[in-house]
Amino acid sequence: MGRRVDTSWYETYQEGIALEQQSREQRFSDPEVAAQLGLKPKTWSRIKIAGRFLDGLTPAFDRASLHCGYAPLERLAKLGSIAPEVAQEVLHAVLSNQLKLHELEALVRNQAATTAENQAPRPLRATASKHALYQRMEDFFSASDLYAFDAYQGRALRRRSTLGAPGGYYVYNAKGKLTCVVLCIQPGAWRDPATAARELYEHALSQRAVAPHIWCVFERANVVLQRLAELSLHWGGSPYDPKGQWLYLAHFDDHGVLEVLFEQYFTQLIKQLRTGAGLIERAELYCSIEAADGQPSGELVALRPLLKLPKHPTKSRLFREVVQSRIKAVGEGANASPVERRGALEVDLDM
């Protein structure tokens, strides 16, 4: 282990986070938190980056293993955004203060240069990935008979991407009514996840003028997807929206199965948010206001009306259960075909 260093900065970080999470009447901006802690705003910002990096580790890190200052972890957080695998490899060396700061900074620069080179043919890879996602969606449409979209015997028409709007599909039910817009999302690794999630939410919200339900389907699970889920809890669209769910988030797993984030997922996510383990920081949901002379008022205003999260979330259904209920309803109808009756029977056997 390297020389002993003062690691009490982590307790300072926890104290600062506790200040941020106080009641609305006592909300503090970053400069105000820094002042309360006796720190410069820039120092608090760096400590906050390091602390949030530690809090985001899986499995959770052991406080006793922390033997370094906040500066190396701030750089490690940067490395993690560029090359997560490399960051994981050097994590123990950083925590135990075995890796010098200048060595870590050199590693960050080298990985940044390597990543830039590897991303040179990015457009070709992105095009191939986009076509693969569309093919998966069309295979899913065919195999699921559009039950997932409450559009049995309907049809899905391709929607081409335009400037600022991802491509996807319009899904119509058997009566020709547009029931939902399906957006096929491929956020680039070089984009800021917070910005990407915010833009996607705003676009999904705008599409409600076109269809009542909006789907965002990702090629795989990622942080943008989780950020979207958190935004839907705060701003609306989730299964816990008092006005009803309108935003459906999904991704394909390693076996090509479409996983829909539904009630069970959001119940667990609410519990995580209540422990402070969410990805979205409180400051992202508010903006500060200032007087005409430029002096800050210390007041924060919510960017949108915030929904109140339930203290004891109880919803537990999987989306598969919703699809099964739709298949069963069709199969038990008076005019059900033999194939539809067989589908209902298979649901009964599966349940």
Instruction: State which residues form the domain around 337.
Output: 319-351
Identity at 213, one-letter amino acid code: H
Q: Is the pLDDT of residue 125 over 70?
A: no
Number of domains in the chain: 3
Rounded (5°) CA angle 130-262-192:
45
Residue in this structure with the two tokens 């056997």, named with its chain if needed: 349
At residue 42's C-alpha, the angle toward residues 39 and 45, to 5°, is 90
| Listed residues 71, 90, 118: the one ending a domain | 118
The structure tokens listed for 248 are 């459906």
The reply to whether 172 falls in a domain is yes
5: tokens are 């260093």
Would you give the DSSP letter of residue 67? -
Residues 349 and 290 both lie in one domain: no
| Residue 1 belongs to a domain | no
According to the model, what pLDDT value does residue 1 have?
45
What digits encode the pLDDT tens for the residues 57-93?
877 788 899 999 999 999 999 888 888 888 888 898 8
Query: 163-204, pLDDT tens digit by residue?
Result: 778 899 999 999 999 999 999 998 664 467 888 899 999 999
The predicted pLDDT at position 2 comes to 45
Instruction: Give residue 120's pLDDT band: very low, low, confident or very high (50, 70, 90).
Output: very low
Asked, as a colleague might, if the bond just before 193 is cis with ω within 30 of 0, I would say no
Q: What pLDDT band is residue 43 in, cutting at 50, 70 and 90? A: very high
Q: Is residue 107 part of a domain?
A: yes
Provide the 8-state DSSP code for 334: T
Asked if 45 and 183 sit in the same domain, the reply is no
Q: Closest Cα partner for 134 from 156, 112, 104, 118?
A: 156
Mean pLDDT of 321-346: 91
Residues 279, 131 share a domain: yes
Q: Which pair of tokens denotes residue 237?
A: 């669209």
3 lies in some domain: no
**Is 264 in contact with 258 (CB distance < 8 Å)?**
no
Note whether 133 and 99 are same-domain residues: no
Angle at CA of residue 222, ends 249 and 63, nearest 5°: 125
**DSSP per residue, 170-232:** EEE-TTS-EEEEEEEE---TTS-HHHHHHHHHHHHHHGGGT-SEEEEEESS--HHHHHHHHHH
Alpha carbon of 138 to those of 9, 186, 220, 250, 346: distances in Å? Answer: 52, 16, 16, 15, 24
Lowest-confidence pick of 23-32, 252-261, 280-289? 23-32
- Arithmetic mean of pLDDT over the chain: 87
Question: Which of 92, 118, 144 is the last residue in one of the domains?
Answer: 118
pLDDT at 26: 59
Say if residue 176 is in the same domain as residue 228. yes
Q: How confident is the model at residue 23 (pLDDT cuts 50, 70, 90)?
A: very low
Confidence label for 19 from pLDDT (cuts 50, 70 and 90):
confident
Strand 258-261 to strand 286-290: parallel, antiparallel, or no bridges (unpaired)? Answer: unpaired
Q: Compute the distance between CA of residue 23 and CA of residue 10 in angstroms, rounded to an integer.
A: 23
Q: CA Rg, the chain, in Å? A: 24
Is residue 208 within 8 Å of 241, Cβ to Cβ?
A: no
**Tell me, what's the pLDDT at 218?**
94
Residues 313 and 183 in one domain: yes
**Same domain, residue pair 204 and 287:** yes
Same-domain check for residues 274 and 325: no
pLDDT at 240: 98
Residue 247 clears pLDDT 50, i.e. is over it: yes
Whether 205 and 278 share a structural domain: yes
* Pair (16, 113) in one structural domain: yes
What single DSSP character describes residue 294? S
Same domain, 184 and 268: yes
Question: Does residue 45 lie within any of the structural domains?
Answer: yes
**344: CB partners within 8 A, 6+ apart:** 327, 328, 330, 331, 332, 336
**What does pTM read for this prediction?**
0.65
In a domain, 2, yes or no: no
Query: What local confidence, expressed as pLDDT, does residue 252 receive?
Result: 92
In this prediction, residue 130 carries a pLDDT of: 67
Q: Are residues 311 and 343 in the same domain?
A: no
- Most trustworthy range by pLDDT among 189-193, 224-228, 289-293: 224-228
Residue 98 half-sphere exposure, CB side, CA atoms within 13 Å? 9
CB-based contacts of 134: which residues, under 8 Å, 6+ apart? 158, 167, 184
Domain boundary (118, 135, 160) is at 118
Report pLDDT for 327.
94
